[in-house]
Amino acid sequence: MMRGTLVATLLLIFGALRVPIESALTAEDRNAYFHETQLGPGLREEIGQLGFLAALSGFRSLVADLAFIRAQVAWERTEWGRVLLLFRQATTLQPRSILFWDMAAWHMAWNASVAALHDPSQPNEALRRRAERQYIALGKDFLERGIRNNPDRPQLYETLARLYKDKLHDHATAARLFAKAATHAGAPEYDERFAAYELSYVPGQERAAYDALLGLYQRGPQERLPTLLKRLKFLEKKLDIPLDHRISDVDL
């Protein structure tokens, strides 16, 4: 009886100590944007039974790294369905890994989409283009989910901006995403410049683009790169800027 009482007492003490620790860990995970990845049935379907057990056992990072390596092998074999599955596993297990999200999007929106468009086994062009769009959409989905898990970091905003620019030809959204990337700590200085470039291609936004590019130009010679000068000259003509207010041709 005394032993039972002692065990019960220890369990109560352990439970009392465990509650604040678990609460702190939950808050820490939430602050680190891990709240979208839960060890539930959905995760088990994504990563398989062995991966799920490994994640439960504290080997989440190891399983994610293995999935990433296997995805690279599948890419070399152009096994696109397997690449997709393995990157879903890797990103689900390690949602704070920028590399995993970025590589997943690159393989889907760039590599797989191009392979689908030029698939020699599919003679129907309409079906090839549909497959291309589907892979681009998968890449876009990876980046959007990556941003939800990493809203405080600039890299995925930039990659998504490139996807809108190069694959979807949506310059307005690309400009917005480059500008968003530029607001985050550690963003490369060219993000702000690329935002202005993209805005210059958007009908109806010529004045805003001109003001943005001119502001960059006025910062000094280090900003006066060929693309910036060409877009400024284009907008000067488009907006009929007075000759005495135009940038110097010497820069060109």
pLDDT tens for residues 71-105? 999 999 999 999 999 999 999 989 999 999 999 99
Q: Are 140 and 101 in contact (CB under 8 A)?
A: no
Do 83 and 75 meet the contact criterion of CB atoms below 8 Å apart? yes
Q: List, for residues 32-42, the tens digit of each pLDDT value.
A: 444 444 444 55
Q: What is the CA radius of gyration of the chain?
A: 25
pLDDT band at 174 (very low <50, low <70, confident <90, very high): very high
Whether pLDDT at 55 is above 70: no
List, for residues 183-193, the tens digit of each pLDDT value.
Answer: 999 999 999 99
Q: Which helix (H) or strand (E) holds 48?
A: helix 41-56
The C-alpha angle with vertex 9 and arms to 7 and 13, in degrees rounded to 5, equals 115
- Name the pLDDT band for 251 (thresholds 50, 70, 90): low
**CB 139, CB 180: distance < 8 Å:** no
> Which H helix or E strand runs over 60?
helix 60-76
